[in-house]
Amino acid sequence: MRSFHQILGNQLDLLQSGTEYFPQLCADIDAARHSIYIETYIFAADQTGRMVADALQRAAARGVSVRLLLDGYGSSELPQKWLDELNDAKVQVRWFRREISPFTLRRNRHRRLRRMHRKMAVMDAKVAFVGGINIINDIPRHSNLSAPQLDYAVRIKGTVAGEIHATMRHLWSVVSWASLRRRGKRIKRLVRNAKRPSTSRDITLVLRDNVRHRRDIEREYLNVIEAAKREIIIANAYFLPGRGFRQALILASRRGVRVMLLLQGRVEYWIQHYATHALYDELLEAGIEIYEYQASYLHAKVAVVDGSWSTVGSSNIDPFSLLLAREANLAVRHNDFAEELRASLLAVIAKDSIRVGGEYGLARSWLERLIARYSYMMVRLLIGLLGFGRSI
């Protein structure tokens, strides 16, 4: 049975993986009376996509304003038939940077690779979701896995949902103007006037964009890591932090803080996967514990520090999320909420993960180390070509 946490007039509900997330999302869509905004990186044409699409169409049929924002790369495989169906049902669909071509990357390369990686939803400005869960089947297609991928989201009911609504409405306006090719002073003013949500210190929507909030998510992490006194637990699907972030973790470990990293154990994107392995020796030598998740794919982007601060969101700790993509994390300062997430992560570590290191297993051969070093160099080369060479 799930726990609900009351924080300054807001009710927070931690949802683990799609098995908890999608039924609740569709129930809230069905309960909406006025407006629905959804942002997602991936909207897949599978059973989960059908369930959400049907719920959105039911809402539009009863007069609810439904607005769906899709990333042009992540959702590029969504069939035109589905889009026509949504459009016929009066579900408004917009695309964030749909123009993707290898022939255009040399010109405006930063802009072309900037993605909308946020996963958020809000209904009637009263109920909202923030997390890392795409609209796609919980168990990857073409796999022999039986366990769902590990991911988290937060359902928020209360005043914070209204602030999330304002944030999503703003991005919708920006993308709508861009899609109409009105890119003059009006679009620049919309972006420049974007304000950070006025959430409280206990619940903060932390955004990452390429205008005023370039380093906000990274800075939030660094502040709590540098202040940590007892324990840091980070679960992150694609973990390739820059030097400053790694140094903060190493210094925390050296001052006696227990640092635990729960990382991807299965190869999904091999270059990024093995590039992370190139960091293992440095982290292990500093006393940082590394665990690799085995039961399925890890897609979580969460952390808990000192059992009092926690974050759930869309941002990986890698150059692409921290330097290029639009991301959204919810940071929560609340002991009970943090403890629920911490207990979930510790259970996953104990049951479904393997600890990395010579005495624990998963020792790396010379060939694996060579592959890791080669992969890391390739990622650094790509980031260097984009003009971010000093970031990792």
Residue 253 counted as domain residue = yes
35-40 and 119-123 strand pairing: antiparallel
165 and 208 share a domain? no
Same domain, 219 and 78: no
Are 181 and 208 in a shared domain?
no
Tell me: do 125 and 212 sit in the same domain.
no
Whether 366 is in a domain gets the answer yes
Residues tagged active-site: 117, 119, 124, 299, 301, 306
Q: What is the pTM of this model?
A: 0.89
**Which residue among 142, 169, 192 closes a domain?**
192
Is 386 a domain residue? yes
Domain final residue, candidates 159, 192, 225 = 192
Phi-psi region of 203 (alpha: psi -120 to 50; beta: other; left: phi over 0): beta
Both 153 and 238 in a single domain? no
Residue found under tokens 């993960």 = 353
Question: What is the full per-residue pLDDT of the chain (392 aa) written as tens digits?
Answer: 667 899 989 999 999 999 999 999 999 999 999 999 999 999 999 999 999 999 999 999 999 999 999 999 999 999 999 999 999 999 999 999 886 554 444 455 555 568 999 999 999 999 999 999 999 998 876 667 778 899 999 999 999 999 999 999 999 999 988 766 554 444 444 444 455 555 567 999 999 987 778 899 999 999 999 999 999 999 999 999 989 999 999 999 999 999 999 999 887 776 777 888 889 999 999 999 999 999 999 999 999 999 999 999 999 998 878 878 999 999 999 999 999 999 999 999 999 999 998 655 556 676 777 777 767 677 666 665 555 555 55
**197 inside domain:** no
Total count of domains within the chain? 2
| Same domain? 153 vs 25 | yes
Amino acid 260: pLDDT: 98
Residue 276 belongs to a domain: yes
The verdict on 186 and 262 lying in the same domain is no
Domain carrying residue 165: 4-192
Q: Are residues 224 and 140 in the same domain?
A: no
Question: Are 155 and 287 in a shared domain?
Answer: no
The domain boundary residue, chosen from 150, 166, 192:
192
Q: State the pLDDT at residue 217.
A: 96
Whether residues 211 and 185 share a domain: the answer is no
- Tell whether 371 is covered by a domain: yes
Per-residue pLDDT at 62: 97
Q: Residue 168's domain is classified under what CATH number?
A: 3.30.870.10
Residues 322 and 186 grouped into a single domain: no
**pLDDT, tens digit, 9 for 90 and up, residues 246-274:** 999 999 999 999 999 999 988 777 677 78
The reply to whether 198 falls in a domain is no
Domain co-membership, 378 together with 298: yes
pLDDT at 111: 57
The whole-number pLDDT of residue 54 equals: 98
Is residue 257 domain-resident? yes
Write down the pLDDT at residue 224.
Answer: 98
